[in-house]
Structure 1
Amino acid sequence: MRWYWYLTGVVVSGFGTTAMWLVSGIWVKSLTGSDSLAALASFALWAPVLLGPLLGTLADRVRRRPLLVVLNLAMACLLPLLLWVESADRVWLLFAVLVLYGAQGSVHDAAEQALMASVVDEDRLGTFNGLRMTANESMKLIAPLVAAGLFAAYGGGPVALLDAVTFAVAA
């Protein structure tokens, strides 16, 4: 039954993450009018992946389950800071959070993969990973619609809060 709760966390977290990834560039563009800065938002999210091997070693040095919980709770606490991003002069805060978001994602992915390999039986690991990937990828179909609608109606802050809630639920 534990796998059910884990997959629920993957679905919820995947939904929030996809929503935030989509909205971050749009948010920057709407505040600054700059296509270059909007593209930089995506770069800020993905740049920490370049340090993935270094960041991933953290997952090898500590207990993985508590690490995943702490990472999710840290993002749940960090994302509400984005409510202060209401003008172009505060876009720097969005970029800073996006870099931390990307770094958290690198550590989280490494810890998650290592934990699953040690918890799930080897003969069921392929099936489990298939379910996990299906759950995660299916959120990429639903989240953009919700995120775009939420952003259009209320701006980026509520999307950041939605993502914070998904991280808290996943923790």
Structure 2
Amino acid sequence: MTSRPDTAGAGTNRQALSVPAFRRLSAAWVFTNFADSALYLTAAVWMKHLTGSDAAAGLVFACLGLPALLAPVTGWLADHLPRRGLLVAANAGSAAVVLPLLLVSDAAMAWLIYPVMFLYGTGSYLTSAAQSGLLKDLLEPRLLAPGNGLLTSIDQGLRIVSPLLGAGLFALWGMAPIVVLTVCCFAASALVLAGLPTSVVRAAPHSRPGFWTESVAGAVFLARHRVLRTATLAIVILVCGAGALNVTEFAAVDQGAGLPPEFISVLASVQGVFAIIGGLSAAAVIRRIGLSWCLRIGIAVFALGIPLLATASVPLFFLAVALAGTGVSLAVVSFNTLRQSETPSSLQGRTAAATQVVISLPQVASSALAAVLISVLDYRALTLAASVMCLAALLPLMQRRPSAPAVPDAPQPAADPAK
């Protein structure tokens, strides 16, 4: 097991950005997220316009989520192929698979959107798994926290801008400009990533067990590692509570405040701004109080903001989403940093992929359950129940464990079970 970098020793955002390879990775991340944020929501809106069916539009999101079931394969690839080359290929491949959308002109061709979105989603999961290991390859341990914080802030910032741009382009000129923009962004990302120095990109060593044993090794590692097991359980409980908010937030705006559903986009923008602030400040918080306490505080801040959505007060709605945005970034950055720090390089892709599955599926299930319950229960009761669920995420983290050493000032070689 690796040493646990949990206390005040994290570097700063400036120090992370001083690493040329990380700056290049961040630039590629801007292009990738810009394309992703512009496409994923607009594709569902496009399907609605083509078919007039809410169900057909909803299936677009299902196609984007289904590749999570391929996590054993994507994680295995991320740990057995050179990560720089895999990221270049994934971005170039995403550009290629999106191009057929230019052939869709009416409802008769709308079916083509589904396989394209499935392949596109597969590329996104592959990129995420490979990037987890690449980030640890590029940065020394004490810079993982600011590195994750900066990437999270980029992600959240583009989630504010890109969907608005995508919606504007779609309203003015249809889907073709969005497809072309997406292709160009993924191609640019591939070119930027191709310039990463090969000396800092390490391919994971091949292991001897069979494919199935290797492919589930990430999930097994998470389950057997006491610190990561409890942290992952906490995040899973948190997203179960958060998943219900996808449903109750609409009811809070409509039934509670008497505002049109479009007001959700205003709240989402405010939440995104504070998520950026949370991501940029995460390294400083971790440096002061450590990873485990940053994770606890992030969960608590997120959970304490949720009950304010049951008040029917617009100012309190803004406070709720501000707390939610800040809290979720602190929790995500600290969890990702903890997972990367505790996981050997040869398992980075598989643990990242396993994490995607155990987080995505419960969140989808909780959203579906809330959609059923809201027809028979008051939205305020569901909102408060979601808050209690999120606070319950703190329970696994309350187990006592030995104190941990500080984040090292220089990279330390991790024990690698595959060697």
Classify the TM-score, shorter chain: over 0.9
Aligned length: 171
Q: 2:111 aligns with which of 89, 92, 104?
A: 92
1:27 lines up with 2:46 in the alignment: yes
Q: Give the C-alpha shift of residue 105 in structure 1.
A: 1.0
Render the CA deviation track for 1:95-114: whole Å, top value 9, x for unaligned.
11100011111111100001
1:50 lines up with 2:69 in the alignment: yes
- Unaligned 5+ residue runs, structure 2? 1-19, 191-419
Q: 2:37 aligns with which of 11, 14, 18?
A: 18
Q: 2:83 aligns with which of 64, 68, 80?
A: 64
1:129 lines up with 2:148 in the alignment: yes
Partner of 1:81: 100
Provide the identity percentage: 35
Q: Give the C-alpha shift of residue 31 in structure 1.
A: 0.4
Partner of 1:170: 189
The CA distance in 2 between the partners of 1:35 and 1:124, in whole Å, is 44
Q: Give the C-alpha shift of residue 50 in structure 1.
A: 2.2
Q: What secondary structure, in the 3-state scheme, does the structure 1 residue paired with 2:171 have? A: helix
Partner of 1:159: 178
Partner of 2:205: none
The CA distance in 2 between the partners of 1:157 and 1:133, in whole Å, is 29
The CA distance in 2 between the partners of 1:159 and 1:170, in whole Å, is 16
Choose 1 or 2 for highest CA Rg: 2
Q: What secondary structure, in the 3-state scheme, does the structure 2 residue paired with 1:168 have? A: helix
Q: 1:36 aligns with which of 51, 55, 59?
A: 55
Contact between 1:9 and 1:170, CA under 8 Å: does it hold in 2? Answer: yes
Amino acid at match of 1:68: L
Amino acid at match of 2:22: W
After superposing the two structures, state which structure 1 stretch, 110-119 or 51-60, moved more: 51-60
Amino acid at match of 1:165: C
Contact between 2:64 and 2:120, CA under 8 Å: does it hold in 1? Answer: yes
**What TM-score do you get using the length of structure 1 for normalisation?**
0.96
Is the helix fraction higher in 1 or 2? Answer: 1
Contact between 1:85 and 1:157, CA under 8 Å: does it hold in 2? Answer: no
**What TM-score do you get using the length of structure 2 for normalisation?**
0.40
- Unaligned 5+ residue runs, structure 1? none
1:142 lines up with 2:161 in the alignment: yes
Matches for 1:102-117 after TM superposition, within 5 Å: 102-117=121-136
Partner of 1:7: 26
The CA distance in 2 between the partners of 1:161 and 1:50, in whole Å, is 29
Q: Give the C-alpha shift of residue 156 in structure 1.
A: 1.3
After superposing the two structures, state which structure 1 stretch, 17-26 or 54-63, moved more: 54-63
The CA distance in 2 between the partners of 1:146 and 1:82, in whole Å, is 18
Partner of 2:242: none
Q: Give the C-alpha shift of residue 160 in structure 1.
A: 1.3
Name the structure, 1 or 2, with higher relative contact order (CA <8 Å, separation 6+): 1
